[in-house]
Amino acid sequence: MILKGIDNQTVELKILKYQFPEINTPKDWDANWLHIYLKVDSKLGNWETVDPSLTTFEFKSLVSWFKDLAENREVKYRELDFTEPNLVFQLKDSTPKSKTVRVVFNYESKPRPAEKGKEYYVDCVFTNEQLADVSLQLENELKLFPER
């Protein structure tokens, strides 16, 4: 899926595979790590990365976070971060009709080489309809990699 940011910036995010496909023990944390592909075209640079940044559980929480924003429900966290702190989603601004979400790239999700101390991010302004579509696209992505 592609998140469209301000000033024609884009963030492509997709699940490539399980990090450990050979592990299929139910509810095993290691069995649920996902290799996440990112392609970022931004004012701060253009880069691609692949890293086991999210688990199926965390990806599911990302789906719910976007769905809650789309439906004007108060989100539990204005900043959604994960076990591996490579990606962070921040709710920067919220109105009943639109939301500004910042996607922050840390550690393995930064470009190589990254400038020390520089923050890498893309800001996106979404209508509620666009947020619902983001949630649906992420949910469809996750269906290919169910919790094990």
Element containing residue 89 per DSSP (H, E): strand 87-94
What Cα–Cα distance (Å) separates residue 94 from each residue in 6, 72, 123, 124, 142? Answer: 16, 9, 13, 12, 26
Asked whether the predicted pLDDT for residue 77 surpasses 90, the reply is yes
The tens digit of pLDDT for each residue in 22-31 reads 998 888 999 9
Contact partners, residue 101, CB within 8 Å, separation at least 6: 3, 69, 89, 90, 91, 92, 123, 124, 126
DSSP 26: T
Check residue 25 and give its pLDDT: 87
Check residue 114 and give its pLDDT: 95
Check residue 26 and give its pLDDT: 83
Rounded distance, CA 6 to CA 63, Å? 21
The tens digit of pLDDT for each residue in 36-71 reads 999 999 999 999 999 999 999 999 999 999 999 999
Span 119-134, mean pLDDT? 98
Q: Assess contact for 46 and 120: CB atoms under 8 A.
A: no
Q: Assess contact for 138 and 56: CB atoms under 8 A.
A: no
Q: What's the pTM?
A: 0.96
| Domains assigned to the chain | 2-143 (2.30.31)
Rounded distance, CA 141 to CA 78, Å? 23
Strand partners, 61: none
Strand partners, 104: 88, 121
Rounded distance, CA 26 to CA 128, Å? 35
